[in-house]
Amino acid sequence: MSGHSKWATIKRKKAATDAARGKVFTKIIKEITIAARDGGGDPDGNPRLRLAIQSAKASNMPQDNITRAIKKGTGELEGVKYDEITYEGYAPGGIAMLIESVTDNKNRTVAELRHIISKNNGSLGESGSVGWMFDRKGIVNVEKPGVTEDDLMELILDAGADDLKTEGDFFEVVSSMENFEKVRKAIEDKGYKIESASLQYVAKDLISVDPGKVDEIIRCIEAVEDNDDVQNVYTNADFPDE
Burial 143-166 (b: 16+ CB within 10 A, else e): ebeebeeeebeebbeebebeebee
Tens place of pLDDT for every residue, the chain, 242 residues? 333 445 566 666 666 566 555 778 889 999 999 999 999 999 999 989 999 998 898 888 899 999 999 999 999 999 888 999 999 999 999 999 999 999 999 999 999 999 999 999 999 999 999 999 999 999 999 999 999 999 999 999 999 999 998 877 889 999 999 999 999 999 999 999 998 888 999 999 999 998 899 999 999 999 999 999 999 999 999 887 65
- The whole-number pLDDT of residue 58 equals 83
In Å, how far are 16, 44, 65, 233 from 50, measured between CA atoms? 22, 7, 15, 22
Query: Cα separation of 171 and 149, whole Å?
Result: 8
The CATH number assigned to the domain with range 2-74 reads 1.10.10.200
Distance CA 240, CA 242 (A): 6
Residue closest to 41 by CA, chosen among 64, 63, 69, 79: 69
Q: What are the extents of the domains in the chain?
A: 2-74, 83-132+205-238, 134-203
pTM of full prediction above 0.75:
yes
Contact yes or no for 11/141 (Cβ under 8 A) = no
CATH no., domain 83-132+205-238? 3.30.70.980
Helical H segments across 22-169, by residue range: 23-39, 47-58, 63-74, 106-119, 149-159
Domains 83-132+205-238 and 134-203 share a fold: yes
Looking at the domain that runs over 134-203, which CATH code has it been given?
3.30.70.980
Distance CA 9, CA 92 (A): 21
Res 2: pLDDT: 30
List the one residue out of 192, 7, 198 whose CA is nearest residue 97.
Answer: 7
